[in-house]
Amino acid sequence: MCGICGYIHLDKAKRPSAIILEGMMDTLIRRGPDDEGLYLKENIALGHRRLSIIDLATGHQPMFNEDGSIVIVYNGEIYNFQELKTILEKKNHIFRTHSDTEVIIHAYEEYGKDCLEHFNGMFAFAIWDSKDDSLFLARDRFGKKPLYYALFDNQFIFGSEPKAILKHPSVRREIDINALSKYLSYEYVPSPYSIFKNIYKLEAGSMLSLKDMEYRVKRYWDLSFEHKINFDLKDAEAQLLKLLKESVRKRLISDVPLGVFLSGGIDSSSVVSMMAELMDPKDIKTFSIGFREESFDESSDARIIADYFGTDHHEKILSPNTMLDVLPDILDLLDEPFADSSIIPTYLVSRFARQHVKVTLGGDGGDELFLGYPSFLAHELVRYFDFLPDIIKKTPLKILAKIAQTSYDYMSLNFKTLRFLRGLNYPEEIRHQVWVGSFTPEDQKKLFLPNKGLNYDPFDIYNVTDKFFQNVKKLDSLDRAMYIYIKTYMTDDILAKVDRASMANSLEVRAPFLDTEFTDFATGIPSYFKLRNFKTKWILKDALMDRLPRQTLKKRKQGFAVPVAKWLKTDLRPLLFSAFEKKKVDGEGIFDYAYISNLLQEFVTNKVDRRKEIWALFMFEMWYDKWMR
C-alpha cells in the first residue's frame, strides 16, 4: 500500500516544482512511511510514498519500463501478478524486479488501456507515457484504493487523498454546497463528488485519460447479473467455498507478517475458516476489539471463533475515553466529512493490529454480496406493505414507535421502527438511502439557509443512487438493492473507512470477498438463495454449516458500531454544544441556527432519537474547524 500524487502543466512550456511535489508527498507519509520517490521531467511531476509489502528490495517507485519511456506511480496489490508475469514473459517482456508494479507497466505496454481487464486486485495508479505524451489514471473495480483529481490554473493535479491536492498552491479550498447536501444525506460524500469545489473522485471501475490538454473519464467495468447459476444448491455452495478459499489463498502472499480482523460475524469468521485450511491455525493472528457497553460489544463472538480454530488471538477492550482520545487523530486523516462512527473502532483495531503485523485480511463485501444488512430485511417487508393503503400500513408502526421507549442501545426497536417508517415515504429508487442516511430532503430544507440555492427534490439530492438504479431497472428488486449498495455505501463508506483508518496506521487490509472471480460468481447467485424466509446470507451460512460453530451461524447482524448517542449526551456534551454555538454557526453562513438548536434539544431530552443527524452535523462542524478555518 502506498500514496501517490502528481501534477501536469497543461502549458508544456512550464516546469513543475520539486518543492511543491515534495509537499504533496509529505501529506501521504502515513500511507507510505518506508520509502519515497519522485519524477520530474518537462511538464510532468509524479510522487510516491511506499509501504513495502512485496519485493522489499527492488520495488522502489516511480518505476519505469526498459527504455524509460513509461513511468508509473501505483498504490495497491495485483493478486494475479505472478500469473500475468508468466504470460508477459512468454511475449518477450523482460522483468528486472519481483513486484506487481512492474507487471502493470508491461501489461500496459502489451494491452494498452485494456490492461485493466487483466488485473485482479485493489489499485489506483498513474502512468505517464512519454511516447504518447499522455497520462493514464485508473482505479480498481470496487474502489478499494482512492484517487482524486482536479484542474486548477491550467494544471491537472491528482492524489490519493484530497489533502495532497490541497497542498498544491494553485488549489482553492472552497466547499461545494451540493456535495455538502449529499454528505448530510449519505453520511459521506458519494463519488464522483468531493466536499471541495472542483476536486473530484475518480469513480470505482473507471479510468481517466489526459492528452492534448483535455481529459476524459470512462467506466471500464461494471457488475454483471446476466448469467444466473443453473446448477443445484449444493453445487453452488461447493463452488462458493472453493472460490472463497482460492481468494483467501491469493491474499496470503506477502513478504511481511499478516493477520486478520475478526469480529465474530459470518464474514470475518469465514475468512478465518479458509485461512485455517491453508495454514497452521496457530500461525493465524486474529485481532478484535470490544466495548464496555454490552449492546455494542462483539468481543465474545470473536473469542468463540478464535478458540474454535485455535488462532493466535489478540483482543483489546476499549473504554469510552480511549475512543474519544483518538478523535483528533481521526479528524486529521478525514479531509472530507465522514459520519460513519465505526471509523473510530476501525482506526483503533488497525492501530492495534499494526503493532504485530503489516497486512490484515477482512470481511468487507460479504454483507453487500449476500444481502446481510437489516435494510434488506426491511426491503422484503415493504413488499407486504405496498398493497395496503397508507393509513393502514403506517398507523400500527407509528403506535409501535410511540410505545417503544427511546433507547440509545444498538439498533433499538424505537430506532428501527422510526427508520422503517420514514423510508416508506419514498420510492424504491431512493428508499434504502433514506433508511441508512441522515438528513432527508425535507430536513435539509429546514437546515440550510434559504440563500444556498439548493434543489431539495429527492431525485436531485439522491441523484447518485438514482443513477445506479436506472442502470439495473430490469433486475429483480433485491439484485437492484445489492447493486446500489455496492456502488455507493460499500465503495464510499465501508471501503473508504477501512482504507483511511488502516493507512493512517500504515497497515494494508485485503478483502477476499471482493476478489474478481468470487464476485463474478456471487452476483450470479439468485437473490432468493441469499435472503430466504427473512434470513440473511442464507446460502453463505448454509455452505459454512460444517465449518463454523452453530452460535456463529445463528448470530444476528451487528455493525461495527459505537455508542455515539451516549457519548454525545455525556463525555462529548461540552464539545457538542461548543461546536454549535450560535456565533460560530451564524459565522459559517451555511445552516439555520434555530433549527439546529431545536434538533439538539429534542435529542438531549430524549424526545426524538436523532443520533444520526446530530452525529453527521457534529462531524461536519469538527471537520470544518480543522480544514476550513
Which residues carry out catalysis? 2
CB atoms within 10 A of CB 563: 21
Phi/psi region, residue 289 (left: phi>0; alpha: psi -120 to 50; beta: rest), is: beta
Q: List strand residue ranges (DSSP E) for 170-213, in order.
A: 199-201, 206-211
* Beta strands at 134-139 and 121-129: parallel, antiparallel or unpaired: antiparallel
In contact, 261 and 317? CB cutoff 8 Å: no
Task: Outline where 363-454 has alpha helix (H).
Answer: 366-369, 374-385, 390-403, 413-423, 428-436, 441-447
- The span from the CA of 560 to the CA of 263, in Å, is 8
* Beta strands at 206-211 and 214-219: parallel, antiparallel or unpaired: antiparallel
Non-local (6+) Cβ contacts of 402 within 8 A are none
Non-local (6+) Cβ contacts of 603 within 8 A are 568, 569, 609, 610, 611, 614
Sheet order of strands, 70-78 included: 63-64, 70-78, 121-129, 134-139, 206-211, 214-219
Sheet order of strands, 155-159 included: 35-41, 44-50, 2-9, 155-159, 148-152, 199-201
CB atoms within 10 A of CB 340: 22
In contact, 76 and 1? CB cutoff 8 Å: yes
Task: Outline where 334-373 has alpha helix (H).
Answer: 343-354, 366-369
Q: Specify the residue for cell string 482460492.
A: 246
Non-local (6+) Cβ contacts of 19 within 8 A are none
DSSP state of 160: S
What is residue 194's three-state secondary structure? coil
CA–chain centroid gap for 595, Å, is 31
What is the residue-wise DSSP string for 503-564? HTTT-EEE-GGG-HHHHHHHTTS-GGGTSBTTBTTHHHHHHTTTTS-HHHHHPPP--S---H
Cell numbers at residue 577, please? 454544544
What is the residue-wise DSSP string for 84-153? HHHHHHHTT---SSSSHHHHHHHHHHHHGGGGGGG--EEEEEEEEETTTTEEEEEE-TT--S--EEEEET
CB atoms within 10 A of CB 112: 12
Question: Before 281, cis peptide (omega within 30)?
Answer: no
- The span from the CA of 568 to the CA of 565, in Å, is 5
